[in-house]
Amino acid sequence: MNNFSYLIKQGIKSVWRNRFMSFAGLCVLTVSMLLFGLSALVMIDCEIILSNVSDQNEISVYLDDDADIEKVGEEIKSSPLTAAVRYISPEEGLEQMMENYEEQRTLFENLPYNPVPPTYMVTVNDIDRISEMTATLTSIDGVYRVNAPMDFAKFIRDIRTAFTVIGLVLIAALGTVSVIIIANTTRLSVFARRKEIAIMRAVGATNGFIKTPFFVEGMFIGLLSGVLSWFVTKLIYERIYDMLYSGFQMWSALGINKIVAFDVISWYVLAAYCLLGALLGALGTVISTGKYLKG
């Protein structure tokens, strides 16, 4: 315990001794983890939104007035992408419309004819193939028009793809830069403590004993970056969350549930950041101590 606390103390001392390099490492590591973390959160939210869209993935299929309703229904059911089919007759459709627009009920009641066509509500079993399903439904004889929540799903999917790519590129590029900076910070620490290391070697310190403070230093910077990234993520994410749900009810209007609240995932995000930071910090140290503390 005596030695353990000594080694920890030495590692933290080194962070202060090389404070400029440590600060540079801390900043780059924080920025890279932050961008990666935010990308990951956007990806998670896209998944949630997509699953919500999937829950409401009903395509409205409007038929010609003279269409063979049963035949069209059979063709829709025969598609492997069809999860469920619900028929709404023109009378039911008009009634629904009047319920939805209660104030205009009189207007609808006085129409000389029923404007609502026979309609099938089709639920697809794979939101990602909704455009394929729309094309299939459009090609059925007797189908007048098809309405699908395709554009919104495509938009969300595009966001998810973009953030996946951004996240991966950022973690690869900035992660590498962070590791290099931490490796250089460790290298400076090794240089600053070269006399001490020479004495340690002369008096019989093991390699593990000599290297441990450098690991502590790298991991300490990593953990600090983790906590800092978590804090900044919390600020940014909660701001965005409030913007989306305070005044403008766009998501509710689209019938989509809320994205995940930060409080729910706060501890997981902190743990992930700290783990990633410590890993990147340790990796930088491994590279540096392996190279400059051989033997």
Partner 1 sequence: MVELKNVDVHFKDGGGVDALNNVNIRIEDGEFVFIVGDSGAGKSTLLKLLTREIVPTSGRVFVNGYNLSKIKNKKIPYFRRSIGMIFQDFRLIPDLNVYENVAFVLRVTNRPKREIRHRVPYVLNLVKLADRAKMFPGKLSGGEMQRVAIARAFASNPGLIIADEPTANIDPALSYDIVKLLKEINKCGTTVIMVTHEHSLVEYFGGRIISLKAGDVVFDDYIGGTAEDE
**Binding positions for partner 1, rule: CB under 8 A:** 2-3, 6, 195-196, 198-207, 209, 295
Our CB check for partner 1 shows the closer of 204 and 247 to be 204
Nearer to partner 1, 2 or 110 (CB): 2
Q: Name which of 6 and 248 has its Cβ closer to partner 1.
A: 6
- Closest distance between partner 1 and the C-beta of residue 39, in Å? 43
CB of 14 to partner 1, least distance (A): 12
Stated as kind and residue range, the H or E segment containing 115 is none
Q: Which candidate, 95, 70, 99, 98, places its Cα nearest to that of 85?
A: 70
The Cα angle at residue 275 between residues 24 and 22, in degrees rounded to 5: 15
Which of 245, 239, 243, 237 lies closest to 262, judged by CA? 237
How far apart, in whole angstroms, are the C-alpha atoms of residue 116 and residue 65?
Answer: 10
Measured from the CB atom, the residue of 205 and 283 that comes closer to partner 1 is: 205
CA nearest to 126, candidates 51, 214, 187: 51
- Residue closer to partner 1 by CB (options 210, 256) is 210
Side chain identity at 263, as an amino acid letter? D
Q: How many CB atoms lie within 10 A of CB 279?
A: 16
Q: Of 58, 48, 75, which is closest to residue 125 (Cα–Cα)?
A: 58
- Decide if 133 contacts 124 (C-beta within 8 A): yes
Residue 71 or 194: the one with the smaller Cβ distance to partner 1 is: 194
- Nearest approach, Cβ of 2 to partner 1 (angstroms)? 5
Rounded to a whole number of angstroms, the minimum distance from the CB of residue 283 to partner 1 is 24
Distance CA 264, CA 41 (A): 12
- The nearest distance, CB 212 to partner 1, in angstroms, is 11
Minimum separation from the CB atom of position 50 to partner 1 (A): 55
CA distance to 11, 40, 164, 221, per residue, from 276 (Å)? 19, 13, 18, 11
Shortest Cβ distance from residue 199 to partner 1 (Å)? 5
20-53 in b/e burial notation, b at 16+ Cβ within 10 A? ebbebbbebbbbbbbbbbbbbbbbebbebbbebb
Please say which residue, 121 or 199, places its beta carbon nearer to partner 1.
Answer: 199
